[in-house]
Structure 1
Amino acid sequence: MPLQISAGVIIADWQLQLTAIRAQGAGGQNVNKVNSAIHLRFDVKSSTLPEFYKQRLLALSDHRITEDGVIVLKAQVHRTQEKNRDEALSRLKELILSAVKIQKSRKATQPSRNAKKRRVDDKKRNGNNKALRGKVVD
């Protein structure tokens, strides 16, 4: 089943390499016997993603992206292989969408006259409190 990223961007099954492995950590016999964790590999460079997506993904400084441009995810939260597979695919989709989201540029603004007045008043009030802490002179 292909992974739908957005309206026009779909990742086909043949581009995803899903491997079932044994999960780590606590869980007793179930963890020791069952291959319920999923290891997902997705090669960004050889994928059919649009060039803009590829550039943005490869520019990320994320530990899940190797130097060769392969995204490696390991999902082992759930007890079943199917849920871990869905988890890995949703995390891949989330990573791709976060990479291509364009941040709104911040416009620098000046503080209002009232904000400046409030800041100065607070500084004066604070200074008066500190002046009262001095030594008492009879």
Structure 2
Amino acid sequence: MHAPELTKNQRLVLDALSREDGPLSAYSLLDQLREHGFRAPLQVYRALEKLIDYGLVHRLESLNSFVACAHPHDHHAHGMIAFAICEKCGQVDEFSDETVEARLSGWSRDHAFKLSKTIIEMRGTCAQCKAA
């Protein structure tokens, strides 16, 4: 899969998310990008929508915020994406697990449930914060 051609706004949003250690809300992105011509939340949301479609950004449902994809890969090939979110420092680790994915797919198949996407968000304390 080749990299999509990004618009100026998409590139600015992706760059802002890539520089951050943790997730950002759309309004935080808007505040950061005002000097680059962003004036309305809709500009941010449009860019985010396309970046999500391209698999370059993920929405963290529980935080209503966004992170740049940590591992560029074919998200359609991997039906499950998981996130470990530190409640102390905000660090987000993205991963997938074939065993969990297989179990969830098996349950869906056994129960005639048409699975469209699986996103798992785990919240807790990261190793660095736990050690501190």
- Answer with 1 or 2: which has the greater Rg: 1
TM-score over 0.5 (shorter chain): no
TM-score by length of 2: 0.26
TM-score by length of 1: 0.25
